[in-house]
Structure 1
Amino acid sequence: MTHNWARQDGGAWVLSLYLQPGAKKTEVAGLHDGALKLRLAAPPVEGRANKALIAWLADWFDVPRNAVVLENGELSRHKRVRINGSARHPDALLAEA
């Protein structure tokens, strides 16, 4: 079951995310406006939230950090991220919400 926030593109997953930086801990917070909402423990300062997002996704999808590409939304809460070469299905992220 794939939602409109996650789609497969060849060997990659493309995710639509909505971020809430500056949270107490990094966690999945469910769905928000057609995107997967993530709370990030990092502040939205000097790219720290983006770096934390990439590190967290790389860890969760069990891929190297360079396999996680921020395609869109560098300065926005709405982001599109491509994850290359992961065997994990993004629907499992919702189970953590």
Structure 2
Amino acid sequence: MPFTIQEKPDGLTFKIRVQPRSSRNQVVGVYGDALKINLTAPPVDNAANKACSVFLSGLLSVAKSSVEIVSGHTGRNKQVMVHCRKDGGERESIRKVILSWAK
């Protein structure tokens, strides 16, 4: 199954696969049906989840509170929601940035 972004009433959701304890924070590409993200944070005390939210919010130019991990808190495979409005083009610009990482 290819990488997809799902439209929800509150925003956009997509799957990620996290590789903690990497040498640097970066989006690597697609891993199955998810984006693979390397993070320097260790997978203890919720550090990798927090680092993931901060990293993605910075790349998407949205508030940290706009990025939420909705499932997979204790595993490498996670579902992420980016809260954004339908109007004003914000949702479409976020979608374009996310899709650019999948190439």
| Pairwise TM-score range, normalised by the shorter structure | 0.7 to 0.9
Length-normalised TM-score, structure 2 = 0.81
Asked if 1:94 is matched to 2:93, the reply is: no
Name the structure where helix makes up a greater proportion of residues: 2
What is residue 8 of structure 1 aligned with on the other side? 7
Find the structure with the greater CA-based Rg.
Answer: 2
Contact between 2:3 and 2:30, CA under 8 Å: does it hold in 1?
no
Name the structure where strand makes up a greater proportion of residues: 1
CA distance in 1, matches of 2:4, 2:45: 26
Identity %: 25
SS in 2 for 1:29: strand
Deviation at residue 5 of structure 1 after TM alignment: 3.6
CA distance in 2, matches of 1:29, 1:93: 8
Length-normalised TM-score, structure 1 = 0.85
What letter corresponds to residue 56 of structure 1 in structure 2? F
Q: CA RMSD in A?
A: 1.6
